Amino acid sequence: MAVDEKETGFVKEIRKQAGDFPGWYNDVVRKAQLADNSPVAGTMIVRPYGYALWENIRDPLDRLIKQTGHENWYFPALIPLSFLQKEKDHVAGFAPEFQLVTKGGGKDLEEPLVLRPTSETMIATVLRDYVQSYRDLPVLTNQWNNVFRWELKPRFFLRTREFLWQEGHTFHETASEAEQEVAKMLDCYRRIAEEWCAIPVLTGRKSESEKFAGAQYSTAIEGMMMDGKALQMGTSHYFGENFSRAYDLTYTGRSNEQQYPHSTSWGMSTRMVGAVVMAHGDDSGLQLPPRIAPVQVIVVPIFRSDVERTQIASALTGILDALDDIRVKVDWRDERPGFKFNEWELKGVPVRIEIGPRDLASGQVTVVRRLDRAKKPVPLAELQTTIPAMLEHIQEALFKRALEFRKGHTVRLDSLAAMVGFFEESIGFVITPWCGRAEDEQAVKEATMATTRVIDRELPPGSQACAVCGRPATVEVVWGKAY
């Protein structure tokens, strides 16, 4: 660290992105007061500023989930181990991450309880009591909760042993309905990433080796961070009848025969907060998209006497009234203006308004954009129209900048040798034709540390050769080093 780990307040220096991106990320998360280390190894404390950022991502997603017909439930965080063991692929995928409760009330439990890594097993078991007929379908559940996974290399927001998320689980009469659900919810995640967090994403299916444990197939949104690495930011899975059969969840169908519903699951977590940091931040700290920024406009009064303070406070009444639909904060702290400017830059507030005696005398304020530090005077009478327009411009500009960055760091290649050369010298994504073999994925990973991120599109039979092995390619796939 460039500063004492225990230091609070003004950040004099954080590590540079170019020299140490992981170190820069940790510094910014802690110094911008998004999160901090917890006394429990591998977990984090989400501080008020970080939690407010999460709420501003969570709330529009919750609205989308409800608009698509889902209802919020809550299921227990403690799951009997036997529930998970009924679905062998699922338990094999999560067994290394289980956290077990073996004692309760001072006694050994008859059966260990697993702290919820995900809820498919619990929900499939419970719904046996609620789903009896095709008339009871579809069941469209969602829950906002915490989950527990024993991550070996924890990192703020990206991988911690306890984190917050939503997990949707739905049950349908037909495969077609379930697969439409998978696509619909993935598009909700795309909208949150692009329209709210200003992060352009790739969408598509995961490879067989990258899919969720127990799923027939998985889909995901993948964003490129400013170090060129991929971050999986949301997933949507089709299970077919896998979980229904494993948990004997049946219903009486239209032909009066017992059938198994087709199920899906999908989730997005506080990892999105980390994505926002890594997709938009710079050496000065955060740059927050206005739609999710806890503070959209920071007002810094500049005064030298009680008289000037009173005059500014009076003028601010009208300014705050004009900006009543915007999240505005006035920083009256007894600190120098430069201290405040740097702190709010660190915290990524999109717009800063500076107001002092000279501004009042001219009937204007000075407005500064965090995006590019552009500064201009704005008449008080124009703030009501200028500030909303400026915030919308910043939102669009952040998305455009991130999109141009991704395009500028994405290449199409046709050989493993070219892929090795790219990942040795460059950062970003590589798109290649691929035959789909797991052996190819392993070969690329060993040679470059890159993995498949999403399948970009299917290819006509015989149209191209696999870039890795030369066999006929079936798809184009995106490769990248990932978090």
Res 7: pLDDT: 42
Q: Which residue has better confidence, 3 or 48? A: 48
pLDDT band of residue 56 (cuts 50, 70, 90) is very high
pLDDT band of residue 13 (cuts 50, 70, 90) is confident
**Whether residue 103 has pLDDT greater than 50:** yes
Query: What phi and psi, each to the nearest 5 degrees, are found at residue 311?
Result: -65, -45
Distance CA 367, CA 375 (A): 6
Distance CA 110, CA 103 (A): 9
Average pLDDT, the chain: 94
Q: What is the pLDDT of residues 114-172, one digit of tens each?
A: 999 999 999 999 999 999 999 999 999 999 999 999 999 999 999 999 999 999 999 99
Q: Closest Cα partner for 478 from 231, 269, 235, 272?
A: 231
Res 6: pLDDT: 45
Q: What is the pLDDT of residues 402-435, one digit of tens each?
A: 999 999 999 999 999 999 999 999 999 999 999 9
Res 3: pLDDT: 37
User: What residue ranges define each of the domains in the chain, with the CATH number in brackets?
Assistant: 21-280 (3.30.930.10), 297-396 (3.40.50.800), 410-480 (3.30.110.30)
**Whether residue 295 has pLDDT greater than 70:** yes
Res 86: pLDDT: 82
CB 355 within 8 A of CB 378: no
**Whether residue 363 has pLDDT greater than 50:** yes
Res 11: pLDDT: 45
Q: Which residue has better confidence, 336 or 93? A: 336
Q: What is the pLDDT of residues 174-216, one digit of tens each?
A: 999 999 999 999 999 999 999 999 999 999 999 999 999 889 9
**Whether residue 79 has pLDDT greater than 90:** yes
pLDDT band of residue 10 (cuts 50, 70, 90) is very low
Distance CA 342, CA 339 (A): 5
Res 213: pLDDT: 87
R_g of the chain computed on alpha carbons: 25
Distance CA 128, CA 22 (A): 46
Res 73: pLDDT: 98
**Whether residue 66 has pLDDT greater than 60:** yes
Res 91: pLDDT: 64
pTM of the predicted model as reported, rounded to 2 decimal places: 0.94
Res 9: pLDDT: 42
Burial 350-382 (b: 16+ CB within 10 A, else e): bbbbbbbeebbeeebbbbbbbbeeeeeebebee
Give the residue-averaged pLDDT of 308-315. Answer: 95
Q: What is the pLDDT of residues 437-476, one digit of tens each?
A: 999 999 999 999 999 999 999 999 999 999 999 999 999 9
Res 97: pLDDT: 78
Q: What is the pLDDT of residues 365-379, one digit of tens each?
A: 999 999 999 999 999
